[in-house]
Structure 1
Amino acid sequence: MTDFTTALHDFAAEVRTRLAALEDLAAGGGFDAAIDLLTDAITSGGVLYAFGTGHSEAFAMEIAGRAGGLIPTKKIALRDLALQGDLPIAELKGANLERNPDVADRLFEIAEVGPHDVVLIASNSGVNGSIVGFALAAKRAGNPVIAVTSYDHTMQVQPKHPSGSRLKDIADVAIDNLAPYGDASITIGADVPVGAVSSITAAFIAQVLTLGVAERFVAKGETAPLYLSANIPGGDEHNVALEQQYGISRTA
Structure 2
Amino acid sequence: MTDSTPQTAQADFAAEVTGRLGRLQDHVAGGGLDEAIDLLTTCVRSNGVIQAFGTGHSEGFSMEVAGRAGGLIPTRRITLREVVIVGGRDPEELFGAELERDPGVVEELLSHTEIQPQDVFVIASNSGVNSSIVGMALALKERGHSVIAVTSLEHTMAVEPKHESGKRLSEIADVVIDNLAPFGDATLELPHGIKVGAVSSLTAAFIAQALTLGVVSRMLEADEVPPVFLSANIPGGDEHNQTLKDRYGSRIRSF
Question: TM-score w.r.t. structure 2 length?
Answer: 0.96
1:25 — aligned with what?
27
Report the secondary structure of 2:150's partner residue: strand
Which amino acid is the alignment partner of residue 80 of structure 2? L
Which whole-Å deviations, capped at 9, do the CAs of 1:11-68 have from their partners, x for residues lacking one? 0000001000000001000000000000001111100000000000000000000000
Report the secondary structure of 1:57's partner residue: helix
Report the secondary structure of 1:74's partner residue: strand
1:246 — aligned with what?
248
1:44 aligned to 2:46?
A: yes
Moved more, 204-213 or 238-247: 238-247
1:189 aligned to 2:191?
A: yes
Contiguous gaps of at least 5 residues in structure 1: none
**Partners of 2:254 and 2:148 in 1: CA distance:** 24
1:210 aligned to 2:212?
A: yes
Alpha carbons 1:148, 1:176 under 8 Å: kept: yes
Task: Map residues 73-88 of structure 1 onto 2, 5 A cutoff.
Answer: 73-88=75-90
Using the aligned pairs only, state the percent identity. 59
**Partners of 1:145 and 1:29 in 2: CA distance:** 19
2:8 — aligned with what?
6
Alpha carbons 2:49, 2:252 under 8 Å: kept: no
**Partners of 1:94 and 1:197 in 2: CA distance:** 22
1:144 aligned to 2:126?
A: no
Equivalenced residue count is 251
Question: TM-score w.r.t. structure 1 length?
Answer: 0.97
Aligned to 1:135, which of 107, 130, 137?
137
1:120 — aligned with what?
122
**Partners of 1:92 and 1:11 in 2: CA distance:** 31
**Partners of 2:24 and 2:93 in 1: CA distance:** 37
Following superposition, the deviation at residue 86 of structure 1 comes to 2.3
Following superposition, the deviation at residue 102 of structure 1 comes to 1.8
**Partners of 2:105 and 2:73 in 1: CA distance:** 27
Which amino acid is the alignment partner of residue 46 of structure 2? S
Following superposition, the deviation at residue 187 of structure 1 comes to 1.0
Cα RMSD (Å) of the superposition?
A: 1.2
**Partners of 2:207 and 2:77 in 1: CA distance:** 16
2:57 — aligned with what?
55
Higher normalized contact order (CA 8 Å, seq sep 6+, divided by chain length): 2
Alpha carbons 2:75, 2:252 under 8 Å: kept: no
**Which runs of at least 4 in structure 1 moved beyond 4 Å after TM superposition?**
none
Alpha carbons 1:51, 1:122 under 8 Å: kept: yes
Which amino acid is the alignment partner of residue 37 of structure 2? I
**Partners of 1:84 and 1:142 in 2: CA distance:** 26
Which whole-Å deviations, capped at 9, do the CAs of 1:176-216 have from their partners, x for residues lacking one? 00000000001111231100000000000000000000001
1:34 — aligned with what?
36
Following superposition, the deviation at residue 101 of structure 1 comes to 1.2
Contiguous gaps of at least 5 residues in structure 2: none
